[in-house]
Amino acid sequence: MVEPNVNDFVTSVKKYCSIPDRSHVYSENEIIIEFRSLILKLIYNITSIEDTLHSPDPDEEDVSKEIVQKFIRNLKPFPFDYYYTVVESLEIEQDDPCGIASIFDDLIDIFKDLYEGLQLYNKGFQETAYFHWSLLYSSHWGLHATSALKAIEEYRTTNYLRKNA
């Protein structure tokens, strides 16, 4: 079995963060497969940096609205937006465990968190970038990634596979 590694994680981050610069217009199937693949690789390889210790934080720059708008533009072929999700999957005694989530919100939040870390990485602050990605994985983008992956996989198996059966 291939072990998770930091190089594969960073490669996946770079690929995810390059989406705003792509001129390719995705088909419905391509966009499902692309995000499924990227999210799976990110989730798998995050364990290679989870033990990174906190290092001094240089000033972080927010992701510009222009870059986010370019990212959103490339999401247009996505075949769905809203889906049901379990809000607290380990809290069994809930009155109403379901909530409504947005795939666009998920993918955009993942993008922003990864992009901020990539800016640190590209400036030579690799350890700080690893810590940033790991911390926000456990508190923010990881929750979006796992929810989005479940919705994407459900869509793929109920729609794509049915069409090609």
What are the chain's domains? 6-163 (1.20.120.1550)
Residue 82 bridge partners (DSSP):
102
pLDDT of residue 23: 86
121: pLDDT strictly greater than 90: yes
- Is there a contact between 120 and 60 (Cβ–Cβ < 8 Å)? yes
Confidence of residue 99 (pLDDT cuts 50, 70, 90): confident
Residue 100 bridge partners (DSSP):
84
pLDDT of residue 97: 67
Confidence of residue 88 (pLDDT cuts 50, 70, 90): low
Question: Average pLDDT, stretch 21-48?
Answer: 94
- Cα dihedral sign for 154, 158, 160, 165? positive
- Give this prediction's pTM: 0.90
* SS3 category, 86: strand
Q: How far is the first Cα of the chain from the last one, in angstroms, to the nearest whole number?
A: 30
pLDDT of residue 92: 65
